[in-house]
Structure 1
Amino acid sequence: MKTIAQFVEDRIATLSDLKDALQTAMQLEFSTIPPYLCAQWSINSDPGGVGGMIEDIVVQEMYHFALAGNMLTAIGGVPSIANATFIPSYPTNVLPGGILQKLPVDLKPLTPDQVQVFMQIEYPEFPPVALAARTGPATIGDFYDAIAEGFTTVNPAINASAFAVNSGEATPIKSIADAQAAILLIKGEGEGTEGSPNQPPTGNATFAHYYVFKEIYTEKTLVQDAAGHWSFTGAPIPFPTWFDFQQSTVTPSPSLAFNQALSQLLIGLQTCWTSGTRPSIGAMFTLQSLGTDLIQQGIRPEFLWAPPSA
């Protein structure tokens, strides 16, 4: 499968490439969820409500992942997520699709250093950085622009009755216009937003993820003055305390039940896209309970493929 840079350079002119790009988008969106969850679950004392801020981002990432899957099924593709190769290995300096990261992306507690990693993942696409990016790997924003253009170029037949996740922002794709709207939503809330590190774009109802993480890092809310200038000088956001945890070397792995719950969740989601079975809401709560319990024991949740029958 092509890298994101190749999709951006070659553009998307065939139905096969459009399907491959959306499968890559699913893996890219999913890759941020395990690090964000580990950070959220590690929070101990949280007077500033940081846990809720990260939870909101995780939920949006889940919706983005689901929207990419809905776009894929709408054009006749089948998401492939219930397998070991779909889940990234951590730590990694390369996100799915070949997006390079200077700071390694890993499963760690919520510390100021880890928030900097999250800011790196979500860094906005804006001049001159967007222009400088042309000398290296394409940005995530470039990738979604290529997908949007691909929908126009390929003009695929849309199956309005395709199986889809239908929850919150993750809605079925019934037209090309729905696909374009989904891409704009993903860009506006997540990576690829055109703006600047300190001046978010106007017109968005909420801040993109980068700005939320920078609020957490600076321990100040982002506010706008009378002249329209934004700065991280608002109300204080106390940084939470956290539970530390490490990778376990014990055999059998204490993460086995957690990994089985993760695998069952992915199996359930894939079944939703292949047969229309509604995914279990309880599966996510089970994963959270098991992950939080591991972290409070000082153990890193591993996020590995371990189907329950194994």
Structure 2
Amino acid sequence: MKTIAQFVKDRITTPADLQDALQIAMQLEFSTIPPYLCAQWSIDSDPSDVAGMIEGIVVQEMYHFALAGNMLAAIGGVPNITNAAFIPSYPTNVLPGGIPQKLAVDLQPLTPEQAQVFMQIEYPEFPPVALAAAPATIGAFHDTIADGFKTVNPPINPNAFSVTSGEAKPIKTIADALAAISLIKGEGEGTAGSPDQPPAGNKTFAHYYVFKEIFVGKTLVQDAAGHWSFSGAAIQFPTTFKFQQSTATPSRSFAFNQALSQLLIGLQACWKSGAKPNIGAMFNLRTLGVGLITQGIRPEFLWVPLA
């Protein structure tokens, strides 16, 4: 399968390429969720509700992941998320699709350094192009997918099975697909602006700005002249539980990995057979993950085959 840089360079001109690009988009969106969850679940004392700030980002990433799957299903593809290769191996310096990361993306407790890793992942796209060392930005990839929908103009199955929850809506037209890509880009990694000046008109801050608020310890506010700065109310950095990878046999994360695999199986069934999202499975994963972290054990986020 092509890298994101190849898609951006060669453009998307065939239905097969569009399906492949959307599969990578699903994996890219999902790849951020395990590190963000580990950071959120590690939080102990939290007077400024930093956990809630991160949870809001995780929920949006889940919607973005689901929207990519809905787009793929709508053009006749089948999301493929129930295998070991779908979940990245952490730590990694390369996000799915070949997006390089100078700071390793890992499963760690929330620290100022980890907040910087998250800011790196979500860095806005602005002239001059952010992450100049990268062959292509995530934002450029989103634009390429949007252009691909316009170029290929694939037939849309308005009755395709989909994940329907919150921002995740069924894709019934090309316009729906373009709106979904715009939402993903605006909330996530591809916003147009600068590191200190979010784009005008956005109702909520993109993920980069939220993580920078946590890192700086101040909210982002706008003055009477319209200038933004991280000079608002103080955000107190929370205390956290420390954890590390367990070397015990059998793995202390086995039940957690089973729950993760079951969750992915359930989500794929939404696109294959019209099943409803299992919200209980998501809460079960959280319970198991928090249980490991409070014991000082890192959740592994590994695929395990289920009988």
**TM-score bracket for the superposition, by shorter chain length:** over 0.9
Listed as ranges, the gaps of 5+ residues in structure 1 are none
After TM superposition, give the deviation of residue 128 of structure 1 in Å: 1.0
Could you report, residue by residue, the CA deviation over 1:180-210 in whole angstroms, capped at 9, with x for unpaired residues? 0000000000001000000000111100000
Distance 1:220 1:258 in 2: 35
State whether structure 2 residue 230 is matched by structure 1 residue 221: no
TM-score (norm 1): 0.98
Give the structure 2 partner of residue 174 of structure 1.
172
After the TM superposition, which parts of structure 1 deviate over 4 Å for at least 4 consecutive aligned residues? none
State whether structure 2 residue 240 is matched by structure 1 residue 247: no
SS in 2 for 1:151: helix
Could you report, residue by residue, the CA deviation over 1:98-129 in whole angstroms, capped at 9, with x for unpaired residues? 00000000000000000000000000000113
After TM superposition, give the deviation of residue 137 of structure 1 in Å: 1.3
Give the structure 1 partner of residue 113 of structure 2.
113
| Structure-to-structure mapping, 1:133-148, within 5 angstroms | 133=132, 136-148=134-146
Shift in CA distance, 115/136, structure 1 to aligned 2, threshold 3 Å: closer
Distance 2:295 2:248 in 1: 13
Give the structure 2 partner of residue 74 of structure 1.
74
Distance 2:305 2:298 in 1: 19
Distance 1:5 1:308 in 2: 35
- The answer to whether the 8 Å contact 2:99/2:134 transfers is no
Distance 2:181 2:193 in 1: 17
Distance 1:289 1:197 in 2: 35
Give the structure 2 partner of residue 262 of structure 1.
260
State whether structure 2 residue 120 is matched by structure 1 residue 126: no
- The answer to whether the 8 Å contact 1:261/1:308 transfers is no
- The answer to whether the 8 Å contact 1:264/1:307 transfers is no
State whether structure 2 residue 21 is matched by structure 1 residue 11: no
Counterpart AA for 2:113:
D
Distance 1:129 1:117 in 2: 19
State whether structure 2 residue 34 is matched by structure 1 residue 53: no
Give the number of aligned pairs.
307
Distance 1:245 1:285 in 2: 21
Percent identity between matched residues is: 79
Counterpart AA for 1:16:
A
Could you report, residue by residue, the CA deviation over 1:28-50 in whole angstroms, capped at 9, with x for unpaired residues? 00000000000000000000010
SS in 1 for 2:275: coil
- The answer to whether the 8 Å contact 2:8/2:144 transfers is yes
Select which of 289, 293, 296 maps to 2:294.
296
After TM superposition, give the deviation of residue 306 of structure 1 in Å: 1.2
Distance 2:227 2:89 in 1: 40
Distance 2:85 2:129 in 1: 32
TM-score (norm 2): 0.99
Give the structure 1 partner of residue 25 of structure 2.
25
Counterpart AA for 1:34:
P
SS in 2 for 1:153: helix
Could you report, residue by residue, the CA deviation over 1:230-261 in whole angstroms, capped at 9, with x for unpaired residues? 00000001000000000000000000000000
After TM superposition, give the deviation of residue 307 of structure 1 in Å: 3.0
